[in-house]
Structure 1
């Protein structure tokens, strides 16, 4: 069977010759326009890049296609050892996703072997730039950013996959301040990944605040305010350190979960004695945020998610047609 590509300006001729239904044009191309205007964005922290310590291999990485689904853009963090052996694991992941049309781009970590990756559907998203720390002339606030030409978008789409430090709020604050330029009024930008921080409370809903005393002492101070910044005079009350996410909020980045009013924790329920919070985020620049479809926002909570990682997959769809 030969596939026939039909363009709108050909339909008047082909419609008569092929005796197509009268509503062929409106239904077929309305659906096509809808698909062309929609972009599904996913962020996934696949714990240790899918490493299975029990079996001594990355066998959980094979779950990637089912976890990703029909995504157009995947912001993937914790690519453990993806740079070793000629980037063998990175390209294994890309082969797993080949049938989905996704290509991989990796930014090597400067502090270890947990690398940040972006998988993008080709040729829908066509890479223009990728700033990596090993290249000359790359500024501190450019590292990790990719820009794409995107069908249906009149400007470059800037994308950043991130995993902020789990151990120190000052480090997270520094990383957040490096992202603020991408909230400029003319920027189409997406930031996604494991921020290791809760978003500020928004009107109409509050984030889940963990009971920090329910955690063992050695885990209580990584994501809470340090001594000197705690809210009580005795400096003993532990509260989440949201300074880094507050920076993003103040420069008008929009959190998809907040827009959806969905505060589902993104850590699986067995993590941190049930005190895991919503720390994996998809955030959008002010210019791009009107494209978010709030009702499409999902935090995947199922057996596969529990099996694959300590973090849950987060996704949302954009309707680029809403941008005018």
Structure 2
């Protein structure tokens, strides 16, 4: 079993004076019972500076908290020095491919995509099972930009023969009333344009184009998705196993006026869905007596390859 975590750590723990605090990062993982083999991480802010000091400090903090070693790899993001990253346990996973930021031979849709082998699945290289994992941080301000980003991710859906698990702060929700909803009129006009869209009837609702492109449009009649790219939301897989348990927002209370949405998504392609363990999916709610470790909540799940 491979445990996966997804976490957007606000500003990567970086303070205004340039210092870093990884104690909240450790608190975010305090109630995790099994150390994740792979952590999909957003907002590695300036983790390349000073010879990668913050990157290595974050990996060390996670290792101290979870009791296993972690290796860190930084991803790519063109909007600024805050790329996504992966942290993985080399005792469990073998990293076989991760395109670097400055690699001259990389295509855009290959960035932030790792190729892993499961170490104990075979005695030698050619016997080990492989899977792909991606992590992205979509544009927070533009639904048009998110749709373009989703189109690059979509190649890892139904046409990818390897099992794929991926996710990130995708900064948008999908269609369907079973998902967390937001009161769009509680937001300012500018805030509405970030994740919302003006409907033909002049009311506001969520801009779901990017996620619907990946996982499909919600059909109220059949309670199924259609016309997706062959990616599936692990949150919905879990909800289908027990519809009495509502799908939780992944943004903490008080961050977005009108209510938090599910915007931190774990996604699996057609080849991976038989290996997802839906009952392991969890959105970790922060301790209400303390300040949350981040503006986003930790998300965890497991796969059995």
Query: Residues 38-77 of structure 1, C-alpha deviation per residue, up to 9 Å, x if partnerless?
Result: 1111100000101244x76322x23333434411110000
C-alpha displacement of 1:215: 1.0
Structure 1 Cα separation of the partners of residues 136 and 147 of structure 2: 13
Correspondent of 1:57 among 3, 19, 37: 19
Query: Residues 95-133 of structure 1, C-alpha deviation per residue, up to 9 Å, x if partnerless?
Result: 223342211111132220111110111121101111133
Q: Could you tell me the TM-score, scaled by structure 2's length?
A: 0.83
Structure 1 Cα separation of the partners of residues 148 and 194 of structure 2: 15
2:298 counterpart residue number: 313
Residue 52 to residue 308, structure 1, CA distance change in 2 (3 Å): farther
Write out aligned runs for 1:232-271 (5 A).
232=201, 236-249=202-215, 250-261=228-239, 262-271=246-255
Residue 200 to residue 149, structure 1, CA distance change in 2 (3 Å): same
Q: Gaps spanning 5+ residues in structure 1: where?
A: 1-37
Correspondent of 1:178 among 152, 172, 181: 152
Q: Gaps spanning 5+ residues in structure 2: where?
A: 123-127, 216-227, 240-245
User: 4+ runs of 1 displaced by more than 3 Å?
Assistant: 151-155
Query: Residues 209-259 of structure 1, C-alpha deviation per residue, up to 9 Å, x if partnerless?
Result: 211111122211111125xxx232xxx211111111111110121111101
CA contact (8 A) 1:155 1:188 kept: no
The alignment partner of 2:80 has SS state of: coil
1:15 counterpart residue number: none
Structure 2 Cα separation of the partners of residues 264 and 63 of structure 1: 21
1:113 counterpart residue number: 81
Is 1:206 aligned to 2:167, yes or no? no
Is 1:91 aligned to 2:75, yes or no? no
Q: Could you tell me the TM-score, scaled by structure 1's length?
A: 0.79
Count residues in correspondence. Answer: 272
Of Structure 1 and Structure 2, which has the larger fraction of its residues in helix? 1
Deviates more, 1:129-138 or 1:91-100: 91-100
Deviates more, 1:209-218 or 1:305-314: 305-314
Write out aligned runs for 1:15-94 (5 A).
38-53=1-16, 57-59=19-21, 61-68=22-29, 69=32, 70-94=35-59
CA contact (8 A) 1:83 1:108 kept: no
Structure 1 Cα separation of the partners of residues 194 and 27 of structure 2: 32
CA contact (8 A) 2:174 2:209 kept: no
Is 1:146 aligned to 2:107, yes or no? no
Structure 2 Cα separation of the partners of residues 72 and 103 of structure 1: 10
Q: CA RMSD in A?
A: 1.9
Correspondent of 1:196 among 152, 171, 194: 171
Structure 2 Cα separation of the partners of residues 238 and 195 of structure 1: 20
